[in-house]
């Protein structure tokens, strides 16, 4: 099943790339196999709607890739493994927002007061003037 998922992912990515290159008039730079799949996609577009034609073409590319990647026998149906819009990935971690920082409570440990930047600057000026004065 791992080969099937890899082949399906690669087929979907390649088809999207080829389709974008076709929109940009760059099909001449594609390999002959890709041009053949795009030609088949165009003929399927005449017979059915775009989503169905895309899925049919992706399925043809998937079967081709499954055989190239060493899959034995007929390519299994990956639709059973799909979750929503794409294949389920085992190595993807869902994004989680960090936990909000707890509000400061009166009973909690006191935090160190922070000196304002202006006070630090004034102290540095006094030290500089003092050093200049005593060096003369």
Take residue 52 and report the two structure tokens written for it.
Answer: 């169905």
Q: Which stretch of DSSP H or E encloses residue 19?
A: helix 2-23
* Span 17-76, pLDDT tens digits: 888 888 787 777 777 888 888 888 888 888 888 888 888 888 888 878 777 777 666 666
Both ends of the chain: CA-CA distance in Å? 84
Q: Which of 49, 70, 53 is nearest to 19 (CA)?
A: 53
The predicted pLDDT at position 55 comes to: 84
Torsion of the alpha carbons at 53, 4, 77 and 39, rounded to the nearest 10: 20
Take residue 113 and report the two structure tokens written for it.
Answer: 């007061």
Q: Residues 78, 61: contact at Cβ < 8 Å?
A: no
Q: Alpha-carbon distance 112 to 23, whole Å?
A: 61
Q: Is the pLDDT of residue 122 over 80?
A: yes
């Amino acid at each position: 099943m791992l080969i099937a998922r890899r082949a399906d992912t690669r087929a979907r990515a390649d088809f999207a790339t080829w389709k974008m290159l076709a929109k940009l008039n760059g099909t001449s730079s594609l390999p002959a196999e890709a041009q053949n799949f795009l030609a088949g996609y165009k003929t399927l577009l005449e017979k059915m709607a775009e989503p169905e034609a895309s899925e049919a073409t992706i399925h043809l590319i998937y079967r081709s890739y499954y055989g190239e990647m060493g899959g034995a026998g007929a390519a299994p149906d990956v639709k059973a493994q799909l979750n929503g819009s794409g294949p389920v990935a085992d190595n993807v971690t869902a994004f989680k927002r960090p936990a909000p920082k707890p509000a400061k409570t009166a009973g909690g440990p006191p935090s160190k007061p922070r000196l304002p930047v202006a006070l630090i600057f004034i102290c540095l000026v006094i030290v500089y003037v003092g050093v200049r004065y005593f060096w003369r």
